[in-house]
């Protein structure tokens, strides 16, 4: 085997000492492959791997979830854990948290770190990041995505991808596209107009492949225009491969392929996880019966299909292999090292969003004598659960532990106050049981009693990774917090108006008690260092600087999705749910600003322990030709070190089409010492003022006047400036 590998590798790397281009290497290998070998590399051979070409010494390709850490190994042909002892990883914060940092450097740090973990585990393709747009707070997988704004998601995914791939591990950006809900994810057909598709739902994927250079991309389960997105020719061939010139691999979502014709012609390259007839778990050689396995081979042999499509798929898969499994510069990687825990802790702390802080209640005074921690989420493991992003971790610091670590001299008392979901785990790992025998009334009474004489009372609740909460395969059914938490918070707030509420979730939740509590923190699923990241913010070791990557409406009804046709869709006789994205481009803050409905907390919002003065923007020119620069002074006017995210939005003063009041087109996070002054600058180009013009099927930068809005959130604009094109 070693000798064969040497032959193939020397054949694909050098000719008379000269390094061959990737394409030339691909052609070289392809020319040596048999038809059967070609078929073998375009479909799975196990739950997470596809075959190599053993005769040519080309190794298998190993994929793994993604996106918050490297998923533990499962058995060859079953979802059950393999029971290995070397796959307990570092869990990084969920991607909603990364988005909330509004910090591209942290995307790099995240990508490099999780990529190193994947490399160490000998994974070639990491199944992430997810960049589907947050369309409704009920969306079960929003926690794996990067918020409601296409510009934010685009900017934040690029460095994640580059970071992962710097290790010779491919990202697989998912789920392409229009996979904005989990409810009926296999059978919902999205109808969306082209302008909305291009302006809202495609930009992050485009940035991921054209700027991030993601070597693979995953099709989505749902349908668009009547065809499943794992073989939707318009999306995969016309847009991805032709318009965006993509040379990477389209991988199906697991089981997302439903026929050979679609798979062959529709733009798919590599088929995974398909449960073809009678072939579910453990069937012998089920993989030979995948749509792109024997059925495809037979059709080629019978002459029904030629081999052009096959060769194109193989070229792409071989290129992916040359970039990953055959790539020899990726280094050994690193796993559960102090640097990764430090990265996870930092990203977590910098993504936490302080939503309310009455009278400077937080940070907790260093000499606090008694701190009462309440709520199930203070003790509940959150790295396990939620579907395919579930992890097996080497450690997970709970909120309670994190607070205890940060305040070793204080008396820290715990009471759970409510009981929700008490048992969890996955197969043979991560099992826990936090069942409490007390009644709901007793739990509240005991919590109230514990509060007596406390310097601080912190309630840590929210959602969790259970079915119908923040989890794959299902959406939430209620915008309210589950398990009666609203009532519990009201009861606590009645005796403690300085209650600190920590909401752990990947989604907006109703906060009817917001006016009656002292502080609110939007916490996320923060991974291995969850409790320490939160305690860093609570103690003031880290000044909060996160900003909301999505709007938190007062009520669900305030949002753009008003009818069943819009969400969750209406079931047709053919069993397909038809869903109209008739709100068009008015998603998230674009909707609230158009309608004037005030959300509870706006997109881009987040408080700090210090204060900032954002000065007047200076434009390099009043006229945009190709580019203009906007410089904005910022000063830390408070007395602790902190960071502000200066946000730049643009609105068209006049347009031939209906346009949002304003749209995010720039953000810069800047850390400043007390009294320190600095400035941030933004480059505006024609793309920043363009809308997608369906008449010319292209972006259109209209001549006219534009307003720049500078602020610390979408609803806190401190100054404006104008320019024209
Ligand atoms: C999910 C993907 C995941 C894949 C493999 C699918 O059900 O939708 O996001 O990568 O499974 O676990």
- Of the candidates 695, 705, 701, 687, the one whose C-alpha atom is nearest the C-alpha of residue 151 is 687
Tell me the whole-structure pTM to 2 decimals: 0.96
Q: What is the pLDDT of residue 15?
A: 43
- 572 alpha carbon – ligand 1 mean position (Å): 26
720 near 709, Cβ under 8 Å?
yes
pLDDT-based confidence at 18, cuts 50/70/90?
Answer: low
Query: Each residue of 685-715: pLDDT tens digit?
Result: 999 999 999 999 999 999 999 999 999 999 9
Spell out the residues 6+ positions from residue 625 whose beta carbon is closer than 8 angstroms to its own.
none
Mean predicted confidence (pLDDT) in 42-47: 95
Mean predicted lDDT score pLDDT of the chain: 95
190 near 217, Cβ under 8 Å?
no
533 near 491, Cβ under 8 Å?
no
Mean predicted confidence (pLDDT) in 624-638: 98
**What is the distance of C-alpha 580 from the center of its chain?**
24
Residue 415: which H helix or E strand, with range? strand 411-415
pLDDT-based confidence at 79, cuts 50/70/90?
Answer: confident
Query: Each residue of 664-678: pLDDT tens digit?
Result: 999 999 999 999 999
- 163 alpha carbon – ligand 1 mean position (Å): 21
The closest-lying atom of ligand 1 relative to the alpha carbon of residue 66 is 10
Question: Is it the case that residue 582 has pLDDT exceeding 70?
Answer: yes
Question: Is it the case that residue 6 has pLDDT exceeding 80?
Answer: no
Catalytic residues: 253
According to DSSP, the residues that pair with 176 across neighbouring strands are: 219
Q: What is the pLDDT of residue 283?
A: 56
Mean predicted confidence (pLDDT) in 300-313: 98
48 near 251, Cβ under 8 Å?
no
- Of the candidates 268, 316, 307, the one whose C-alpha atom is nearest the C-alpha of residue 291 is 268
pLDDT-based confidence at 330, cuts 50/70/90?
Answer: confident
Q: What is the pLDDT of residue 276?
A: 67
Query: Each residue of 137-164: pLDDT tens digit?
Result: 999 999 999 999 999 999 999 999 999 9
- Of the candidates 545, 76, 25, 103, the one whose C-alpha atom is nearest the C-alpha of residue 328 is 25
| pLDDT > 90 in the chain, percent | 92
Query: Each residue of 98-134: pLDDT tens digit?
Result: 999 999 999 999 999 999 999 999 999 999 999 999 9
Burial string for 567-585 (b: 16+ CB within 10 Å, else e) reads bbbeeeeeebbbbbbbbbb
| Omega of the bond leading into 266 within 30 degrees of 0 (cis) | no
Q: What is the pLDDT of residue 329?
A: 74
The closest-lying atom of ligand 1 relative to the alpha carbon of residue 144 is 9
Mean predicted confidence (pLDDT) in 586-599: 98
Mean predicted confidence (pLDDT) in 171-175: 98
Q: Which residues are near ligand 1 (CB < 6 Å)?
A: 65-66, 127, 174, 253-254, 388
- 186 alpha carbon – ligand 1 mean position (Å): 12
Q: What is the pLDDT of residue 327?
A: 77
Poorest-pLDDT segment among 72-81, 82-91, 481-490, 548-557: 72-81
Q: Using CA atoms in the order 666, 672, 677, 683, what is the torsion angle rounded to 10 degrees? A: -20
Mean predicted confidence (pLDDT) in 499-519: 98
Spell out the residues 6+ positions from residue 465 whose beta carbon is closer than 8 angstroms to its own.
382, 384, 385, 386, 387, 390, 424, 471, 525
Q: What is the pLDDT of residue 1?
A: 33
Mutation to probe ligand 1, out of 171, 257, 387 (largest number of atoms < 8 A from CB):
387
Mean predicted confidence (pLDDT) in 13-28: 75
pLDDT-based confidence at 3, cuts 50/70/90?
Answer: very low
Question: 150-165 and 104-120 helices cross at what angle (nearest 10)?
Answer: 40
218 near 127, Cβ under 8 Å?
yes
Residue whose CA lies nearest to ligand 1 atom number 12: 388
Mean predicted confidence (pLDDT) in 250-266: 95
**What is the distance of C-alpha 9 from the center of its chain?**
36
Q: What is the pLDDT of residue 307?
A: 97
Q: What is the pLDDT of residue 275?
A: 73
Q: What is the pLDDT of residue 2?
A: 35
**What is the distance of C-alpha 136 from the center of its chain?**
15
C-alpha to C-alpha distance for 396 and 274, rounded to whole angstroms: 33
Question: Is it the case that residue 280 has pLDDT exceeding 90?
Answer: no
C-alpha to C-alpha distance for 543 and 533, rounded to whole angstroms: 11
- 471 alpha carbon – ligand 1 mean position (Å): 12
Mutation to probe ligand 1, out of 229, 253, 390, 471 (largest number of atoms < 8 A from CB):
253
Question: Is it the case that residue 93 has pLDDT exceeding 50?
Answer: yes
pLDDT-based confidence at 78, cuts 50/70/90?
Answer: confident
Residue whose CA lies nearest to ligand 1 atom number 7: 254
Query: Each residue of 356-380: pLDDT tens digit?
Result: 999 999 999 999 999 999 999 999 9
| pLDDT > 70 in the chain, percent | 96
Residue whose CA lies nearest to ligand 1 atom number 3: 388
Question: Is it the case that residue 282 has pLDDT exceeding 90?
Answer: no
481 near 509, Cβ under 8 Å?
yes
- 253 alpha carbon – ligand 1 mean position (Å): 6
């Amino acid at each position: 085997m070693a000798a064969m590998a040497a032959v193939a590798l020397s054949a694909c790397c050098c000719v008379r000492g000269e390094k061959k281009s990737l394409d030339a290497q691909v052609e070289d290998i392809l020319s040596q492959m048999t038809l059967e070998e070609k078929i073998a590399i375009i479909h799975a051979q196990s739950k997470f791997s596809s075959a190599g070409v053993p005769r040519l010494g080309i190794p298998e390709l190993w994929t793994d979830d993604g996106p918050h850490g490297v998923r533990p190994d499962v058995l060859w042909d079953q979802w059950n854990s393999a029971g290995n002892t070397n796959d307990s990883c570092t869990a990084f914060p969920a991607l909603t948290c990364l988005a909330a940092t509004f910090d591209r450097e942290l995307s790099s740090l995240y990508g490099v770190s999780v990529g190193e973990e994947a490399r160490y585990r000998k994974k070639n393709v990491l199944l992430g990041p997810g960049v589907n747009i947050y369309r409704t707070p009920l969306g079960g997988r929003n926690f794996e995505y990067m918020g409601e704004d296409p510009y934010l998601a685009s900017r934040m995914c690029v460095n994640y991808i580059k970071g992962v791939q710097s290790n010779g591990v491919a990202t697989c950006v998912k789920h392409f596209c229009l996979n904005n809900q989990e409810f009926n994810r296999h059978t919902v057909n999205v109808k969306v107009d082209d302008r909305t598709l291009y302006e809202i739902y495609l930009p992050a994927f485009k940035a991921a492949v054209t700027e991030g250079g993601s070597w693979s991309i995953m099709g989505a389960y749902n349908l668009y225009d009547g065809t499943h997105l794992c073989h939707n020719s318009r999306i995969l061939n016309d847009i991805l491969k032709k318009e965006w010139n993509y040379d990477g691999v389209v991988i199906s979502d697991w089981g997302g392929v439903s026929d050979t014709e679609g798979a062959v012609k529709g733009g798919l390259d590599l088929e995974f996880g398909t449960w073809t007839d009678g072939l579910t778990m453990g069937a012998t050689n089920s993989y030979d019966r995948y749509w792109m396995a024997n059925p495809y081979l037979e059709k080629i042999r019978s002459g029904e299909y030629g081999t052009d499509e096959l060769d194109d798929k193989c070229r792409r898969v071989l290129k992916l292999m040359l970039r990953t499994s055959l790539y020899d510069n990726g280094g050994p990687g690193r796993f559960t090292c102090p640097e990764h825990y430090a990265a996870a802790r930092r990203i977590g702390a910098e993504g936490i969003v302080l939503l309310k802080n009455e009278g400077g209640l937080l940070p907790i005074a260093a000499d606090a004598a008694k701190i009462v921690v309440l709520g199930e989420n203070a003790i509940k493991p959150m790295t396990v659960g939620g579907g395919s992003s579930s992890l097996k971790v080497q450690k997970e610091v709970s909120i309670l532990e994190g607070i205890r670590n940060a305040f070793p001299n204080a008396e820290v008392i715990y009471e759970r106050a409510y009981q929700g979901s008490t048992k969890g785990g996955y197969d043979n790992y991560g099992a826990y049981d936090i069942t409490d025998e007390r009644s709901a009334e007793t739990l509240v009474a005991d919590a109230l009693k514990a509060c007596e004489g406390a310097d601080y009372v912190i309630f840590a609740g929210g959602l969790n990774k259970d079915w119908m909460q923040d989890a794959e395969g299902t959406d939430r059914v209620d915008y309210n917090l589950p398990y009666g938490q609203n009532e519990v918070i009201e009861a606590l707030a009645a005796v403690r108006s300085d209650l600190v509420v920590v909401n752990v979730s990947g989604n907006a939740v109703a906060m009817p008690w917001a006016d009656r509590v002292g502080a609110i923190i939007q916490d996320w699923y923060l991974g291995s260092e969850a409790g320490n990241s939160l305690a860093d913010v609570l103690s003031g070791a880290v000044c909060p600087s996160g900003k909301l990557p999505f709007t938190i409406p007062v009520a669900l009804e305030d949002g753009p999705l008003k009818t069943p046709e819009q969400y969750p869709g209406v079931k047709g006789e053919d069993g397909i749910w038809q869903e109209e994205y008739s709100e068009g481009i008015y998603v998230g803050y674009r909707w609230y600003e158009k309608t004037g409905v005030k959300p509870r907390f706006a997109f881009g919002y987040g408080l700090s322990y210090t204060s900032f003065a954002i000065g007047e923007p200076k434009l390099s020119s009043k006229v945009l030709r190709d580019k203009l620069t906007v410089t904005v002074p910022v000063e830390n006017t408070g007395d602790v070190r902190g960071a502000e995210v200066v946000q730049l939005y643009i609105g068209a003063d006049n347009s031939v089409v209906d346009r949002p009041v304003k749209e995010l087109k720039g953000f810069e996070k800047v850390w400043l010492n007390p009294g320190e002054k600095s400035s941030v600058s933004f480059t505006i180009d024609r793309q920043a003022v363009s809308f997608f013009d369906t008449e010319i099927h292209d972006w259109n930068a209209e001549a006219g006047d534009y307003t720049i809005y500078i602020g610390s959130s979408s609803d806190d604009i401190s100054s404006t400036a104008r320019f024209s094109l």
